[in-house]
Amino acid sequence: MTIAVTRADNTAPPLAGWPLPAARYSAANRATLTCPAAAAMLATPQLLSLITTRSATMRRFENKVVLVTGAGSGIGQGSALRIAAEGGSLFCVDLDQASAEGTAQQIRDAGGEATAHACDVSNEQQVIDCVAACVAHYGSLYAVINMAGILRFDDTREIELGKWQKVLDVNVTGTMLFCREALPHLIDSGGSIVNAASTAALAGLPCGTAYSASKGAVLAMTRSIAIDFAKQGVRANCVCPGDINSGMTEGIEWPATMDFDLMPRIVSISGAKGPEAISGVIAMLASEDAIHITGEDIRVDGGTLS
* Torsion, Cα of 216, 66, 285, 51 (10° steps): -110
Helix, strand, coil content of the chain in percent (nearest 5): 45, 15, 40
Say which residues have a Cβ less than 8 Å from residue 291's Cβ, sequence separation at least 6.
235
- Residues 29-83: pLDDT tens digits? 433 333 444 444 455 555 566 555 555 567 999 999 999 999 999 999 999 999 9
Q: Could you confirm whether 25 is annotated as catalytic?
A: no
Q: Which of 67, 112, 124, 113 is nearest to 94 (CA)?
A: 67
pTM, entire model: 0.81
- The confidence score (pLDDT) of residue 255 equals 86
Q: Where are the beta strands (DSSP E) in the chain?
A: 65-69, 89-94, 113-118, 143-146, 192-196, 235-241, 297-300
- The confidence score (pLDDT) of residue 35 equals 41
- The confidence score (pLDDT) of residue 44 equals 58
- Please tell me which residue in 25, 138, 142, 211 is annotated as part of the active site: 211
In the chain, the percentage of residues whose pLDDT exceeds 90 is 64
> What does CATH list as the number for 59-300?
3.40.50.720
- The confidence score (pLDDT) of residue 28 equals 42
Judged by average pLDDT, the poorest of 258-262, 282-286, 291-295 is: 258-262
Judged by average pLDDT, the poorest of 85-94, 218-227, 228-237, 295-304 is: 295-304
Going from N- to C-terminal start, the domains of the chain cover 59-300
Looking only at the bridges linking them, the beta strands covering 297-300 and 235-241 are: parallel
CA angle 197/40/266 to nearest 5° reads 35
Query: Which of the given ranges, 12-26, 176-190, 238-252, has the highest pLDDT on average?
Result: 176-190
Cβ–Cβ < 8 Å for 254, 9:
no
